[in-house]
Structure 1
Protein backbone atom coordinates (compact mmCIF):
# COMPACT_ATOMS: atom_id res chain seq x y z
CA UNK A 1 0.00 0.00 0.00
CA UNK A 2 1.47 3.33 -1.09
CA UNK A 3 1.70 6.35 1.17
CA UNK A 4 -0.34 8.37 -1.33
CA UNK A 5 -3.30 6.07 -0.62
CA UNK A 6 -3.05 6.67 3.13
CA UNK A 7 -2.80 10.47 3.11
CA UNK A 8 -5.64 12.86 2.28
CA UNK A 9 -5.48 14.56 -1.10
CA UNK A 10 -4.79 17.98 0.46
CA UNK A 11 -2.03 16.79 2.79
CA UNK A 12 0.44 18.86 0.78
CA UNK A 13 -0.86 21.88 2.71
CA UNK A 14 0.41 20.25 5.90
CA UNK A 15 3.85 19.74 4.33
CA UNK A 16 3.92 23.37 3.20
CA UNK A 17 3.10 24.46 6.74
CA UNK A 18 6.04 22.40 8.01
CA UNK A 19 8.39 24.10 5.54
CA UNK A 20 7.10 27.52 6.54
CA UNK A 21 7.71 26.68 10.19
CA UNK A 22 11.34 25.84 9.40
CA UNK A 23 11.69 29.24 7.76
CA UNK A 24 10.27 30.82 10.92
CA UNK A 25 12.79 28.92 13.09
CA UNK A 26 15.65 30.05 10.86
CA UNK A 27 14.39 33.64 11.09
CA UNK A 28 14.34 33.46 14.89
CA UNK A 29 17.85 31.96 14.94
CA UNK A 30 19.13 34.81 12.78
CA UNK A 31 17.47 37.34 15.09
CA UNK A 32 19.20 35.78 18.10
CA UNK A 33 22.54 35.86 16.26
CA UNK A 34 22.06 39.53 15.41
CA UNK A 35 21.09 40.29 19.00
CA UNK A 36 24.21 38.49 20.27
CA UNK A 37 26.36 40.80 18.15
CA UNK A 38 24.39 43.92 19.05
CA UNK A 39 24.37 43.29 22.81
CA UNK A 40 27.81 41.59 22.87
CA UNK A 41 26.65 38.31 24.40
CA UNK A 42 29.20 35.61 23.57
CA UNK A 43 28.57 31.89 23.30
CA UNK A 44 27.88 29.76 25.40
CA UNK A 45 26.19 32.42 27.54
CA UNK A 46 22.43 32.00 27.19
CA UNK A 47 21.22 35.19 28.87
CA UNK A 48 22.59 38.64 29.57
CA UNK A 49 22.79 40.24 33.00
CA UNK A 50 22.77 43.73 31.45
CA UNK A 51 20.34 43.60 28.51
CA UNK A 52 16.75 42.47 29.09
CA UNK A 53 15.94 43.06 25.41
CA UNK A 54 18.43 40.35 24.42
CA UNK A 55 16.88 38.05 27.00
CA UNK A 56 13.44 38.59 25.45
CA UNK A 57 14.72 37.73 21.97
CA UNK A 58 16.56 34.65 23.23
CA UNK A 59 13.60 33.47 25.30
CA UNK A 60 11.20 33.86 22.36
CA UNK A 61 13.44 31.56 20.34
CA UNK A 62 13.77 29.07 23.20
CA UNK A 63 10.01 29.01 23.84
CA UNK A 64 9.41 28.29 20.18
CA UNK A 65 11.93 25.43 20.19
CA UNK A 66 10.38 23.97 23.36
CA UNK A 67 6.92 23.51 21.83
CA UNK A 68 8.01 22.83 18.24
CA UNK A 69 8.11 18.99 18.41
CA UNK A 70 4.62 18.80 19.94
CA UNK A 71 3.34 21.33 17.41
CA UNK A 72 4.67 19.21 14.52
CA UNK A 73 3.00 16.09 15.89
CA UNK A 74 -0.35 17.81 16.42
CA UNK A 75 -0.17 19.45 12.99
CA UNK A 76 0.41 16.05 11.41
CA UNK A 77 -2.44 14.41 13.32
CA UNK A 78 -4.90 17.20 12.62
CA UNK A 79 -3.74 17.31 9.00
CA UNK A 80 -4.78 13.70 8.53
CA UNK A 81 -8.37 14.58 9.43
CA UNK A 82 -8.59 18.23 8.33
CA UNK A 83 -5.74 18.96 5.88
CA UNK A 84 -7.00 22.34 4.64
CA UNK A 85 -8.34 23.56 8.00
CA UNK A 86 -5.11 23.04 9.98
CA UNK A 87 -2.96 25.15 7.66
CA UNK A 88 -4.27 28.24 9.33
Structure 2
Protein backbone atom coordinates (compact mmCIF):
# COMPACT_ATOMS: atom_id res chain seq x y z
CA UNK A 1 0.00 0.00 0.00
CA UNK A 2 1.45 3.40 -0.94
CA UNK A 3 2.27 5.90 1.79
CA UNK A 4 0.75 9.34 1.53
CA UNK A 5 2.34 12.24 3.37
CA UNK A 6 0.27 15.36 3.86
CA UNK A 7 2.32 18.49 4.35
CA UNK A 8 0.69 20.67 6.98
CA UNK A 9 -0.12 24.30 6.18
CA UNK A 10 2.30 25.40 8.93
CA UNK A 11 5.20 23.68 7.13
CA UNK A 12 5.87 27.07 5.59
CA UNK A 13 7.34 28.10 8.95
CA UNK A 14 9.79 25.23 8.69
CA UNK A 15 10.78 26.33 5.20
CA UNK A 16 11.23 29.93 6.38
CA UNK A 17 13.41 28.74 9.25
CA UNK A 18 15.51 26.58 6.96
CA UNK A 19 15.89 29.47 4.51
CA UNK A 20 17.06 31.71 7.34
CA UNK A 21 19.83 29.20 8.06
CA UNK A 22 21.16 29.76 4.52
CA UNK A 23 21.61 33.39 5.47
CA UNK A 24 23.20 32.35 8.76
CA UNK A 25 25.71 30.18 6.91
CA UNK A 26 26.67 33.10 4.66
CA UNK A 27 26.93 35.39 7.69
CA UNK A 28 29.50 32.97 9.14
CA UNK A 29 31.47 33.01 5.88
CA UNK A 30 31.48 36.80 5.69
CA UNK A 31 32.68 37.05 9.30
CA UNK A 32 35.53 34.67 8.56
CA UNK A 33 36.44 36.75 5.51
CA UNK A 34 36.61 39.96 7.49
CA UNK A 35 38.67 38.35 10.26
CA UNK A 36 40.95 36.81 7.61
CA UNK A 37 41.60 40.27 6.18
CA UNK A 38 42.39 41.72 9.63
CA UNK A 39 44.73 38.83 10.42
CA UNK A 40 46.38 39.05 6.98
CA UNK A 41 46.11 35.30 6.46
CA UNK A 42 46.25 34.58 2.72
CA UNK A 43 44.23 31.96 0.92
CA UNK A 44 44.32 28.95 0.80
CA UNK A 45 45.39 28.78 4.46
CA UNK A 46 42.52 27.66 6.65
CA UNK A 47 44.06 28.88 9.90
CA UNK A 48 46.94 30.94 11.23
CA UNK A 49 49.54 28.40 12.36
CA UNK A 50 50.86 28.37 15.93
CA UNK A 51 54.22 29.44 14.50
CA UNK A 52 52.67 32.43 12.71
CA UNK A 53 50.86 33.49 15.87
CA UNK A 54 54.00 33.12 18.00
CA UNK A 55 56.00 35.25 15.53
CA UNK A 56 53.34 37.99 15.38
CA UNK A 57 53.08 40.80 17.86
CA UNK A 58 50.35 42.87 19.48
CA UNK A 59 47.22 43.49 17.46
CA UNK A 60 48.17 41.09 14.66
CA UNK A 61 48.64 38.25 17.13
CA UNK A 62 45.16 38.94 18.56
CA UNK A 63 43.72 39.22 15.03
CA UNK A 64 45.18 35.83 14.09
CA UNK A 65 43.72 34.24 17.20
CA UNK A 66 40.30 35.76 16.53
CA UNK A 67 40.47 34.63 12.90
CA UNK A 68 41.16 31.06 14.03
CA UNK A 69 38.22 31.27 16.43
CA UNK A 70 35.90 32.61 13.70
CA UNK A 71 37.04 29.88 11.33
CA UNK A 72 36.48 27.22 13.97
CA UNK A 73 33.01 28.60 14.79
CA UNK A 74 32.14 28.40 11.09
CA UNK A 75 33.46 24.85 10.83
CA UNK A 76 31.48 23.85 13.91
CA UNK A 77 28.37 25.36 12.32
CA UNK A 78 28.94 23.36 9.13
CA UNK A 79 29.69 20.16 11.04
CA UNK A 80 26.33 20.39 12.80
CA UNK A 81 24.36 21.86 9.91
CA UNK A 82 24.47 18.68 7.85
CA UNK A 83 22.40 16.84 10.46
CA UNK A 84 20.41 19.81 11.77
CA UNK A 85 18.79 20.76 8.45
CA UNK A 86 17.42 17.32 7.53
CA UNK A 87 16.22 16.86 11.13
CA UNK A 88 14.39 20.20 10.89
CA UNK A 89 12.76 19.28 7.58
CA UNK A 90 11.75 15.79 8.75
CA UNK A 91 10.49 16.90 12.17
CA UNK A 92 8.46 19.63 10.50
CA UNK A 93 6.32 17.09 8.66
CA UNK A 94 4.59 16.11 11.91
CA UNK A 95 5.49 19.01 14.23
CA UNK A 96 5.84 22.06 11.99
CA UNK A 97 5.46 24.81 14.58
CA UNK A 98 7.59 23.07 17.21
CA UNK A 99 10.27 22.29 14.65
CA UNK A 100 10.31 25.86 13.32
CA UNK A 101 10.55 27.36 16.81
CA UNK A 102 13.26 24.90 17.81
CA UNK A 103 15.14 25.65 14.59
CA UNK A 104 14.89 29.39 15.20
CA UNK A 105 16.21 28.97 18.75
CA UNK A 106 19.05 26.82 17.35
CA UNK A 107 19.92 29.64 14.94
CA UNK A 108 19.99 32.23 17.72
CA UNK A 109 22.33 30.07 19.79
CA UNK A 110 24.56 29.53 16.74
CA UNK A 111 24.93 33.32 16.52
CA UNK A 112 25.66 33.55 20.25
CA UNK A 113 28.24 30.78 19.82
CA UNK A 114 29.99 32.51 16.90
CA UNK A 115 30.01 35.96 18.46
CA UNK A 116 31.17 34.59 21.81
CA UNK A 117 33.93 32.57 20.16
CA UNK A 118 35.34 35.71 18.55
CA UNK A 119 35.07 37.93 21.62
CA UNK A 120 38.31 39.79 22.20
CA UNK A 121 40.38 39.06 25.28
CA UNK A 122 38.61 35.74 25.83
CA UNK A 123 41.20 32.98 26.20
CA UNK A 124 40.76 29.86 24.09
CA UNK A 125 37.45 31.05 22.65
CA UNK A 126 35.62 30.40 25.91
CA UNK A 127 33.05 33.05 25.00
CA UNK A 128 31.37 30.38 22.87
CA UNK A 129 30.12 28.55 25.96
CA UNK A 130 26.98 30.71 26.17
CA UNK A 131 26.02 29.47 22.70
CA UNK A 132 26.39 25.79 23.51
CA UNK A 133 22.66 25.64 24.16
CA UNK A 134 22.31 24.93 20.46
CA UNK A 135 22.98 21.30 21.46
CA UNK A 136 19.73 20.70 23.40
CA UNK A 137 17.69 22.25 20.59
CA UNK A 138 19.48 20.10 18.05
CA UNK A 139 18.82 16.99 20.13
CA UNK A 140 15.12 17.91 20.38
CA UNK A 141 14.97 18.10 16.59
CA UNK A 142 16.66 14.70 16.32
CA UNK A 143 14.03 13.26 18.65
CA UNK A 144 11.15 14.86 16.74
CA UNK A 145 12.60 13.65 13.44
CA UNK A 146 13.00 10.13 14.80
CA UNK A 147 9.45 10.11 16.12
CA UNK A 148 8.16 11.43 12.78
CA UNK A 149 10.00 8.68 10.91
CA UNK A 150 8.75 6.00 13.32
CA UNK A 151 5.16 7.22 12.97
CA UNK A 152 5.38 6.68 9.21
CA UNK A 153 6.06 2.95 9.61
Q: Give the TM-score of the pair, scaled to structure 1.
A: 0.89
Provide runs of 4+ in structure 1 moved above 2 Å: none
Distance 1:78 1:26 in 2: 24
Equivalent residue, structure 1, for 2:44: 44
Distance 1:67 1:23 in 2: 16
Q: Structure 1 unaligned segments of length 5 or more: list them.
A: none
Structure with the larger RCO, 1 or 2 (CA within 8 Å, 6+ apart): 1
Tell me the matched-pair count: 84
Q: Give the TM-score of the pair, scaled to structure 2.
A: 0.53
Looking at secondary structure, tell me which structure has more helix per residue: 2
Q: Structure 2 unaligned segments of length 5 or more: list them.
A: 54-63, 102-153
2:72 pairs with one of 55, 59, 62: 59
RMSD (Å), alpha carbons:
1.1
State the shift of 1:69 in Å.
1.6
